[in-house]
Structure 1
Amino acid sequence: MFDYRLEEDASRFAVFYENEEIGEISFVKTGEHLLIIDHTYVDAKWKGHAIGNALVQKVVDFAVADNRKIIPLCPFAKKVFDRTPEYEAVYSK
């Protein structure tokens, strides 16, 4: 249904539905072991489909694979991190 794509050169994951971009999450790699989530966006008509949560999960999986901790500066991502105990291992407070 949804197609999540890593655009590493743009430091983001984008999500598409029927080839239309409907959301994104962007991040910045800082040093060798840190990643900062700085922006999350989901088109208003797609809110309530857990797309934002899935985008955060994509970045978490990416950070784990790259041996990085995450600082969620984006308010949405911070809320997700604060309510998801499983992210504690990658959360850099």
Structure 2
Amino acid sequence: MVGTVMIIVAGHVQVAPEGREAYLRDCIAVVNAGRAADGCLDFAISPDLVDPGRINIHERWTARPELEAFRGSGPPPTQQDAMLAIAVEEFEVAEARQ
């Protein structure tokens, strides 16, 4: 990826442990839409293996305009209401190695 910038969105959200499975079910459409969006290289929302209230977020995008077009106004109110804490950041990567 020399000469281009990739955007990585990574982090986690906290939800009530008893509500995690429902939250993840509600995210299936978001994951499908993200993976189908222009500029999306990877999109995953998954349960943490050791924390029953943690949901891990990982996205890779070719450029900011595509990410912002997909993001729109953010998660629907039902998902926003379920989030107890959010720790998600964006990173601009100028170089990647395999």
Q: In which range does the TM-score fall when normalised by the shorter chain?
A: 0.3 to 0.5
TM-score, with normalisation over the residues of structure 2? Answer: 0.34
TM-score, with normalisation over the residues of structure 1? Answer: 0.35
Structure number with higher relative contact order (C-alpha < 8 Å, ≥ 6 residues apart):
2
Q: Which has the larger radius of gyration?
A: 2
